Homo-oligomer: A and B are copies of this chain.
Amino acid sequence: MRILIVNPNTTASMTVTIEAAARRVAGDSTVIEAVTSSMGPASIEGYYDEALAVPGLLKEISQGEREGADAAIIACFDDTGLDAARAMSSIPVIGICEAALATVSFIAQRFTVVTTTQRSRVPIEALVRRYGAEGRAKVRAADIPVLSLEDPLSGATEKLRAQMASALEEDGAEAIVLGCAGMADLAARLQDEFGVPVVDGVGAAVKQAEALVALGLSTSKRGAYAFPAPKVYTGLLAGFGIG
């Protein structure tokens, strides 16, 4: 089983973190292929970055599917481009936010998502509502730029810890969801420290992708995710091979 993980920002070092987290939890017969988008923002912080990340992301998923991937994962907690990718693909496509929320729902009644920037808080609250976790989940931002997670001197992890502590004390959280792909390497350590389940979306998405493939399930092609109708696509985006 080959699972493609696309880091939809263009920062290759973050892809390394993501790939390592994915491999730690992947099954023995699963091949993880992590790629960095070649087109778009260096990090995804808010609606604008989300939008600009989509074409590069779709290109990678389209190519990965042609090269034989059995499932694809979008490794950004905003689940950017998810619906478009599903409509375009025959293989299952998983977002790390939806995977994390589905996973934490099996082990906690109340939980808090801790993400990076305030720009991302409201979009993630919209995802919480979309995925039906409204009333169970709160979203907090640690006020840290995404890329600061890669800099041990930035204090980012300490700010993340502070929000986790507040989540437990003030939100009644029973578990924590890490709300950024760049936090994928921290889950196990923070789970040990805080003594509550800590869910990383990258790992969660790998297991959901494996599950769908093993169950013989893929995106329905009836209704909202039907293949795009044939039509002319103009400009630089035309090269995806579907239009």
Contact = CB atoms under 8 A, between A and B. Distances in A.
A220 B234 contact: no
A41 B243 contact: yes
Contacts of A199: 215, 217
A12 to B, nearest CB: 11
Contacts of A123: 83, 224
Interface residues of A, number: 100
A181 interface: no
Interface string A66-98: 000000000000000101101110001010001
Given A118-B223, A118-B226, A211-B208, A217 B107 contact: yes
A132 B137 CA distance: 12
- 5 shortest A-B CB distances, which residue pairs? A132-B132, A39-B235, A207-B211, A51-B84, A122-B224
20 contacts: A10-B234, A27-B214, A38-B234, A38-B235, A45-B231, A46-B87, A48-B242, A51-B58, A51-B83, A94-B106, A105-B132, A107-B218, A108-B220, A118-B226, A121-B223, A132-B134, A173-B222, A175-B220, A195-B222, A210-B211
